[in-house]
Chains A and B, each alone.
Chain A
Amino acid sequence: MGRPSEAAGMEALHQLKSTEPPQWLAPSASLSESARAASQHLFASLRPHVRKSPFDELLVDNFDAEQIWQQIDLLTQPLVRSIRRRVKHWEKNPAEIENLLPEVADGGKKVAQGKKMEEIDDDDDDDGGDMDMDDDDDDDDEEMDVDNDGEQDGGKDEGDESEEEEEEKSGGIEDKFLKIKELQEHLEDEEARHYGLDAKNKKSKKKSGSKKLEDEDDDSEEGEEDKEEDDDEDEEVDLFAGGDDEDEEDEMGNARYEDFFGKKKGGSEPKPRFKDELGEDSSSGEEEKEEELSSDDDDDEEEDDDENVNKKPKVLSTHEKEVQKIKSEIEKMEKANLDPKTWTMQGEVTAANRPKNSALEVDLDFEHNVRPVPVITEEVTQSLEEIIKKRIIEGQFDDIKRAPGLPSKAPRELKPVDENKSNKGLAEVYEEEFVQQTDPAAAPLSFSDEQKKEASTLFKKLCLKLDALSHFHFAPKPIIEDMSIQSNVPALAMEEIAPVAVSDAAMLAPEEVFSGKGNVKAEVELTQTERKRRRAKKKRKFKAVETKKMASKKAREDELRKQKEGTLLVVQVTHLCCQINVMLNQKL
C-alpha cells in the first residue's frame, strides 16, 4: 500500500477522535482502516527523529495488531530513551531550555500530537495496549506539557517531574508509599554518616528515614532491611532510656492519615517536605555525592539553621568515632543506673508499686511447696484397677498388724491357784518357804520344778528316739545309774531298732551267765574219785537241809506242847486251888 498523504492521515486521526466510544465496541472495517492510516501517518512523522530503524514506514496491510504494535515499539523505544536523556540534561542545565524553546515549540507540538495519536492508536487496538506503555506515554505527555508550559516551576518542577517519572516508571514495586528514589537516598545518607559526616546531616536523614518508615508499607524490599537495621539500632538504644522512647512514640503517635496517604487534591505539606529534602538531596546528586563531600558540607550548613545546633562540624577518625560511641553508651548506662530501677529489680514489690498486670508479663519462678495435682487419666485408673485386682487374687492386703510388745521382763510364773484343800499343814508351808529362802538347793522341788523335770525327761526320750531314727546324730542312751534288770536277750535287739542282721550273741557275758565255782568239769571228764566226791557232797547238802527242816518242826511242836502243858498245869493248878478252896470252905 502506498504511503498516504499527511492530510489523509490527519483526516483519519480526526475521524478516530470523533467517533463515539460505543462504536469502538463493535468491530468495523472503516474504523480499522482509518486507524491504520492514522498510525502510519504518525509513524512517518516520527521516523525522521530516529536515527536507525528497521522500518521506513509502518506496514499495516494484513498485519495483526500485535505486529503493528511491535513495529511501533521498535521505533519508539530508542527515541524515548534519547528524549529522557535530553530531559535530564536539561534538568541540570536549565539555561539550555531557553535556547531550545523556540526551535522545539513547533516540533514539540508535533511530537506531542504524534505522541497523543500513538496513544490513541494504542488504545484503539482491539487487544488493548500495555499499561506500561500507556504509563510511559502518559509520562511523555506530561513531560511535553510541562515543557510547553514554561520554566516557571524550574527546579521544583524538574524535581517533581523527575520524581513522578521515576515514581511511575518502576511500576509494581513503587506506589505512593514506597519510593525507591527516597530509599536510595536514605541509604546513601547512612553510608555518608558511617564514613564521616556531621551529626546534623545524620539527624535530618534519620528523621527522613523515620518518615520513610512511616510512609512506606511492607511492600519494601532490599534496601528496606538495611535501613531498618540502622533504625533498629537507634531505636534499641532509645528503648533503654525511657525518655527517648516517649519522644519516638510521640512522633509515631501523631501520625495522621494525611502523612500516609496525603491529601486528596494535590500534595500539600508532606509532599513539599519530601521535595525540600529531595531537592536538597538531588542537588547533591547521586553521582556527585561520592566524589564531593565538601558540597554536602555546604548543604548541611544550610540544614543547621533549620535544626538544632550540632556539636562536631569536622570529620572524625575511626578511633574517635569508636570513642564517641562508647561514650554515648556509657552515658546511657550511667543514666540508667541513676534512674530508679525497674520494679523487677527492686526487692519486695507489692502490687501498688508496680504497674497493673505487669506480673503477668514477667517470667516468675518460685518454689511450689504443694505437689502438683495428679491428672487422672484413663491410664492411671487402669493401672490402679490392675493393682487392686492383683492384690485381691493374691490375697495380699495391707492389713495393719499389731506390733508385738517389747519383752520387758520374763513372764511371771503364774501358779494356778489350787482350789483344793492343801494337804500340807500351814507349818509345813512356812517350813518350805523358809527352807527355800535359806537353802534353795535342799528345798524340795516345787510344783513347777516337778513339772519342768517331767517335761525335760519326756523331751529327752523323744529326742533319743528321733536321733536313733535319723542315724546321723545318734547318741546312745544316757547312763542313769539306776538298778536295772538285764535280760538275757540278744544284744542286737536292744541296741538296734532296724535289725539288719540277727545275731545270737547274748546280752550277758559268759562269766555272768555262769553260776558256779572253781574248775568246772563235765560229767564225762570226771574221774572216779571226783564222782564220788560229788555224790558225797550232794548227800551232805541234802542231809543238812533235812535236818534243818526236822529241827524247825520239832521246835514248833515243842512250843505247842509247852503251851499245852502250861495250860494244863495252870488248869491243874487252878483246879487244885479250887479244890483247896472248897476244902477250906468245907472246913470253914
Chain B
Amino acid sequence: MEIDGVAPPVAEKPLFEPLKAHEMSDGKVQFRKVSVPPHRYTPLKKAWMEIYTPVYEQMKIDIRMNLKARKVELKTRVDTPDISNLQKCADFVHAFMMGFDVIDAVALLRMDELYVDSFEIKDVKTLKGEHKSRAIGRLSGKGGKTKFSIENATKTRIVLADEKIHILGSFRNIKIARDALCSLILGAPPGKVNSKLRQVTARSAELF
C-alpha cells in the first residue's frame, strides 16, 4: 500500500440488486398450502391449466396439487421477483376454493387492492328454518338477478355459499355490497335495495 501523497482509491459504491425472494428468506423456499374443499375438486380439475398458467409463468411460483392431501401447494422459486407473489397466488387459489371463478380470481393476481370479505347470515340476523331459506332466496333473487345487480353495480363478485357470503372487490365496493346484502338479509325488498345501489354507485362514480 502506498502512503503519503497518494490517497487510497475510494471504493465504488456497491450496487446491490434487489433481493430476490429466495435470498430474502435466506435461500429457503417458502410454501403455501391451500386446502381444496370437496365441492371444488372437480372445478379445480377443469380449470387447472387456467390457474396454473398465470401462477407459474407470470408470478413465477411453483404450484402443484397434492392429490392425497387434497391441497394445492405453492412454492417460491429462485427467480421469483417479489415475495408478495407467493401470497397473492395463495390468495388467488384460496379465492378459487371459496367459489369464485378463475377469471374473477385472477383479478387478485393483477391488482393489489382487491380483498375478499366473508361473513355469515347469522352475523347479521339470527334466522331459523324457513326464514333463513327465504333470506337466502332474497339475497340471490330470481335467477340470481339481485346478486348480479349488486355485482354489476358495485364491481364486485359475490359468492353465496348457503350460510356464508363471500365478496371479492375493492374495499369501498365491498362495503357497499355488504350493506346491500345486509339490508336484504334484514328484509328490505329488492327494489329498494336496487334504488339505493343506484344512488350510491352514481355518487361514487361522480367522486372519481
Smallest Cβ distance from B19 to chain A, in angstroms? 29
Residues of B close to A431: CB separation below 8 A: 110
> CB of A421 within 8 A of chain B?
yes
Range of interface residues on B (Cβ < 8 Å): 20 to 34
A425 to chain B, nearest CB (A): 3
Give the Cβ gap from A485 to chain B, nearest Cβ, in Å.
40
Residue of B whose beta carbon sits closest to that of A420: B148
Mark contacts of A403-416 with chain B using CB atoms, 8 A cut-off: 1 yes-contact digit, 0 otherwise: 00000000010110
Partner of B148, one of A414, A418, A427, A433: A418
Which residues of chain B are within 8 angstroms of A418 by Cβ–Cβ distance? Answer: 148-149, 152
Asked whether any CB of chain B lies closer than 8 Å to the CB of A584, the reply is no
Q: How far is the CB of A274 from chain B (nearest CB, A)?
A: 117
Is B124's beta carbon under 8 Å from chain A?
Answer: no
- Are B198 and A417 within 8 A (Cβ)? yes
Whether B101 is near chain A, meaning CB under 8 Å from some CB there, is yes
> Would you give the 0/1 interface string for A220-240, flagging 1 where the beta carbon is closer than 8 Å to chain B?
000000000000000000000
Any chain B CB within 8 A of the CB of A426? yes
Q: A residues within 8 A CB of B198?
A: 414, 417
> Could you tell me which residues of chain B, from 175 to 208, have a CB within 8 Å of some CB in chain A?
194, 197-198, 201-202, 206, 208
B88 at interface, CB cutoff 8 A: no
Name the one of A412, A421, A430, A437 contacting B155, with C-beta atoms under 8 angstroms.
Answer: A430
Identify the closest chain A residue to B113 (Cβ): A430
The A-contacting residues of B in range 130-188, CB under 8 angstroms, are 144-146, 148-149, 151-153, 155-157, 168-169
> Which of A417, A429, A430, A431 has the most C-beta atoms of chain B within 10 angstroms of its own C-beta?
A417
A353 within 8 A of B: no
A interface secondary structure, majority: loop
Picked from B101, B114, B194, the residue with its CB within 8 Å of the CB of A417 is B194
Contacts A414-B202, A417-B197; A425 near B152 (Cβ below 8 A): no
Please determine whether A417 and B155 come into contact, CB atoms closer than 8 angstroms.
no
How near does chain B come to A434, taking the closest CB pair, in angstroms? 9
B residues 4-27 touching A (CB-CB < 8 Å): none
CB distance from A157 to the nearest CB of B (A): 132
Tell yes or no: B107 within 8 A of A by CB: yes
* Interface residue A428 (Cβ < 8 Å from any Cβ of B): yes
**B148 contacts A419, C-beta separation under 8 Å:** yes
List, in ascending order, chain A residues with CB within 8 A of B103's CB.
425-428
State whether the Cβ of A487 lies closer than 8 Å to any Cβ in chain B. no
Minimum CB distance partner of B106 in chain A? A427
- Which single residue of chain B is at the shortest CB-CB distance from A431? B110
B104 interfacial by beta-carbon distance below 8 Å: yes
Please give, as numbers and ranges, the residues of chain B lying within 8 Å of A437 by CB-CB distance: 208
**Whole-angstrom distance between the Cβ of A415 and the nearest chain B Cβ:** 8
B111 at the interface (CB under 8 A from A): yes
B-side contacts of A422, CB under 8 Å: 148, 151-152
In the complex, the answer to whether A427 meets B197 with C-beta atoms within 8 Å is: no
Q: Find the A residue at minimum CB distance from B102.
A: A425
Q: Tell me the chain A residues, 97-147 only, with Cβ under 8 Å from chain B.
A: none
- The answer to whether B144 and A425 have CB atoms under 8 Å apart is no
B interface footprint on A27-64 (CB within 8 Å = 1, 0 otherwise): 00000000000000000000000000000000000000
Bound-state CA distance A412–B104 (Å) is 29
| Residue on A nearest B147 in the bound complex, by CB | A421
If the complex has contacts A425-B107, A426-B104, are A417 and B202 also in contact, measured as CB distance less than 8 A?
Answer: no
Given A417-B149, A417-B194, A426:B155 Cβ within 8 A:
yes
Kindly provide the distance from the CB of B69 to the nearest chain A CB, expressed in whole angstroms: 29
Bound together, the chains give a CA A425 to CA B169 distance in angstroms of 12
B164 to chain A, nearest CB (A): 19
Question: Who on chain A is nearest to B157 by CB?
Answer: A426
Given A417-B149, A417-B194, A419-B149, are A425 and B155 also a contact pair (CB < 8 Å)?
no
**Cα of A428 to Cα of B168 in the assembled complex, Å:** 14
Q: How far is the CA of A416 from the CA of B22 in the complex (A)?
A: 49
Q: Which residues of A contact B194 (CB under 8 A)?
A: 417
> Which of A412, A414, A427 is close to B107, meaning CB atoms less than 8 Å apart?
A427
Residues of B within 8 A of A417 (CB): 149, 152-153, 194, 197-198, 201
Query: Which residues on the B side are within 8 Å of A433 (C-beta)?
Result: 155
With CB as the reference atom, state the residue of chain B lying closest to A409.
B206
B89 CB to closest chain A CB (Å) equals 15
**Chain B neighbourhood of A415, CB < 8 A:** 201
The reply to whether A425 and B148 contact each other, CB–CB distance below 8 Å, is no
Select B111's contact among A414, A420, A421, A427, beta carbons within 8 Å. A427
Instruction: List the A side residues contacting B169 at CB < 8 Å.
Output: 426
Chain A residues with CB under 8 Å of B106's CB are: 425, 427
Nearest to B144 among chain A residues (CB) is: A421
In the docked arrangement, what's the CA distance between A427 and B107, Å?
Answer: 4
Q: In the complex the two chains form, what is the Cα distance from A426 to B170 in whole Å?
A: 11
B172: shortest Cβ distance to chain A, in Å? 13
Tell me, in angstroms, the Cα distance from A314 to B149 when the chains sit together: 131
**Contact between B110 and A419 (Cβ–Cβ < 8 Å)?**
no
Min C-beta distance of B203 to chain A, whole Å: 9
B156: A residues at CB distance < 8 A: 426
Q: How far is the CA of A454 from the CA of B121 in the complex (A)?
A: 45
Point out the residues of chain A lying under 8 angstroms from B155, CB to CB.
426, 429-430, 433
Cβ of B104: which chain A residues have Cβ within 8 Å of it? 425-427
Return 23 A-B CB contacts under 8 Å, by A number: A412-B202, A412-B206, A414-B198, A415-B201, A417-B152, A417-B197, A417-B198, A417-B201, A419-B148, A419-B149, A421-B144, A422-B151, A425-B103, A425-B107, A426-B104, A426-B155, A426-B157, A426-B169, A427-B103, A427-B104, A430-B107, A430-B114, A430-B155
Q: Which residues of A are interface residues toward B (Cβ below 8 A)?
A: 412, 414-415, 417-422, 425-431, 433, 437
Query: Assuming A412-B202, A421-B148, A427-B103, what are 7 further A-B pairs, CB within 8 angstroms?
Result: A417-B149, A421-B151, A425-B104, A426-B107, A426-B114, A430-B114, A431-B110
Closest 10 CB pairs of A and B: A425-B103, A427-B107, A419-B145, A426-B104, A426-B107, A418-B152, A417-B149, A419-B149, A427-B106, A417-B153
